[in-house]
């Protein structure tokens, strides 16, 4: 019991700053949704649809950069000097940013052919183009953050992300509604605020690690072998995130073609889920770092201990969220809007979140263990099979054949999450048996 307590404390030590950062990340999204909702339903629908495309492209790069912390935490366990990889991590992030921007611009060009309401097409395109240029700052921030987290330096990168919430809210209000000499820009104002905030975050992270970069200035090289290893580990994560995100966003697009009201409601519901998810996501990162370190050190007992502690934390937190959603579902919706029609559509689904959240906590914590073991390909296969072979087909069937509409889609997603958790648990047990022989 004492040993478990120490592992719980250690995970909390790493997780709490990450939780603060993740909450900050969510709150930045929440302020976007909040300001858009105050502007108009069309503005809310526009950013919901635009982000469904943007996040699908963006999340691949984020997943690839996750490979930095996983690889370096394992290398630290192997007692290798790892700070020499900072410059290569930064270069890798900017190459990804350029490729991501080109993909976003390509996707923007097809928006007029997607059968969206004509009065929001221009706003969707403008938002996507402006936001696309924020990727350079975003990926720079993410690369340095992953590097620091691999070394268990977690406070600074996450605290500044939380602090950026205030900056984002101010810029949103100023550029969306106008202030003094700045004209009201509507949806474009939300994108301009995102561009400024992400660029600021990237530059301040670069300033934070300047001493490491200066020390490396004489022997600075592009370590392509390192980049290849990051790509090998991160690519399955990125693909898995893309298809998971794409699953959510296909639903948004389908609903957007039905009505702006359904798309707006789904956007609010997804934001609520994301807000709760950020806590176990942070714990999952901590699990991956600690299990990765002890996997590199070939200490199977510690791998098991940190995995068990992480699952306990995630499921306990998500169970608390489930109780909250059951006791007061209206409170969650009212934070975003007082619109009666949106509230009526959303309430039955918020109640469903009581089951959804427990499944989400299980699958993300188990996924953290597998990532620490560098079994990222298996995590991806679990997500792909569960979402695309079961969850989405079930969701579309329930939505359109059974007449459940939005609720039908969320039932499909809930079933998919449980299936992911079951498959990950089985793979972990098989992996531990294999590692016992290899260590």
Average pLDDT over residues 60-64: 87
pLDDT of residue 221: 61
DSSP string, 202-220: HHHHHHHTHHHHHHTSTT-
Average pLDDT over residues 342-360: 86
d(CA 282, CA 286): 6
Q: Is the pLDDT of residue 2 over 70?
A: no
pLDDT of residue 218: 61
Sort 153 into a burial class: Cβ within 10 Å, 0-12 / 13-18 / 19+.
middle
pLDDT of residue 427: 94
Structural domain including 140 reads 2-438
Q: What are phi and psi of 375, to 5 degrees?
A: -95, 50
Q: Is the pLDDT of residue 216 over 70?
A: no
Average pLDDT over residues 76-94: 87
Question: Which stretch of 38-52, 101-115, 346-360, 414-428 has the lowest confidence by average pLDDT?
Answer: 38-52
Question: Which stretch of 269-273, 362-366, 368-372, 392-396 has the lowest confidence by average pLDDT?
Answer: 269-273
pLDDT tens for 139-180 read: 999 999 999 988 888 889 988 888 888 888 888 888 878 778
Please list, residue by residue across 121-144, b when 16 or more beta carbons sit within 10 angstroms of its beta carbon and e when fewer do.
bebbbbbbbbbbbbbbbbbbbbbb
pLDDT of residue 1: 54
Q: Is the pLDDT of residue 33 over 80?
A: no
pLDDT > 70: percent of the chain: 97
Euclidean distance between the first and final Cα of the chain, in Å?
25
Please, which pLDDT band fits residue 224 given cuts at 50, 70 and 90?
confident
d(CA 189, CA 27): 17
260-296 vs 300-327: helix axis angle to the nearest 10?
A: 160
Q: Is the pLDDT of residue 306 over 90?
A: yes
pLDDT tens for 93-109 read: 999 999 999 988 988 88
Average pLDDT, the chain: 85
Tokens of 394: 């079930």
Please tell me the total count of domains within the chain: 1
Distances (CA, A) of 361 to 7, 161, 409: 18, 23, 19
């Amino acid at each position: 019991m004492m040993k478990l307590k120490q592992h719980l404390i250690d995970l909390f030590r790493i997780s709490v700053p990450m939780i603060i950062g993740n909450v900050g990340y969510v709150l930045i999204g929440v302020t976007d949704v909040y300001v858009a909702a105050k502007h108009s339903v069309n503005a809310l629908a526009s950013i919901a649809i635009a982000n469904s495309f943007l996040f699908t492209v963006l999340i691949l790069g984020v997943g690839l950069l996750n490979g930095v912390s996983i690889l370096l935490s394992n290398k630290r366990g192997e007692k290798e000097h790892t700070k020499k990889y900072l410059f290569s991590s930064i270069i890798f992030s900017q190459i990804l940013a350029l490729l991501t921007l080109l993909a976003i611009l390509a996707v923007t060009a097809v928006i007029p052919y997607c059968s969206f309401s004509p009065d929001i097409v221009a706003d969707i395109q403008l938002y996507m183009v402006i936001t696309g240029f924020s990727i350079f700052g975003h990926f720079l921030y993410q690369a340095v953050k992953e590097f620091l987290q691999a070394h268990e330096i977690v406070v600074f990168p996450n605290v500044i992300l939380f602090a950026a919430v205030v900056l984002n809210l101010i810029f949103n209000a100023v550029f969306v509604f106008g202030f003094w000499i700045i004209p009201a820009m509507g949806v474009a104002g939300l994108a301009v605020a995102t561009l400024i905030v992400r660029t600021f975050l990237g530059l301040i992270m670069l300033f934070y690690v300047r001493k490491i970069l200066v020390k490396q200035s004489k022997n600075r090289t592009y370590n392509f072998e390192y980049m290849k290893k990051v790509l090998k580990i991160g690519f399955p994560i990125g693909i898995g995130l893309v298809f998971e995100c794409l699953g959510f966003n296909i639903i948004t697009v389908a609903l957007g073609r039905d009505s702006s009201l359904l798309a707006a409601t789904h956007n609010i519901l997804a934001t609520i889920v994301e807000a709760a998810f950020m806590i176990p996501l942070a714990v999952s990162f901590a699990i991956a770092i600690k299990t990765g370190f002890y996997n590199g050190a070939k200490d199977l007992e510690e791998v098991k201990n940190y995995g068990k502690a992480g699952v306990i934390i995630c499921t306990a937190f998500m169970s608390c969220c489930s109780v909250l959603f059951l006791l007061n579902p209206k409170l969650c919706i009212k934070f975003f809007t007082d619109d009666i029609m949106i509230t009526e559509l959303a309430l039955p689904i918020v109640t469903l979140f009581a089951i959804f959240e427990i499944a989400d906590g299980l699958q993300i914590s188990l996924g953290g263990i597998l990532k620490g073991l560098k079994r990222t390909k298996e995590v991806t296969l679990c997500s792909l099979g569960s979402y695309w072979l079961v969850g989405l087909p079930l969701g579309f069937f329930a939505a359109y054949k059974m007449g459940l509409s939005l609720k039908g889609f969320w039932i499909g997603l809930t079933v998919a999450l449980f299936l992911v958790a079951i498959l990950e648990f089985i793979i972990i047990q098989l992996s531990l048996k294999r590692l016992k022989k290899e260590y």
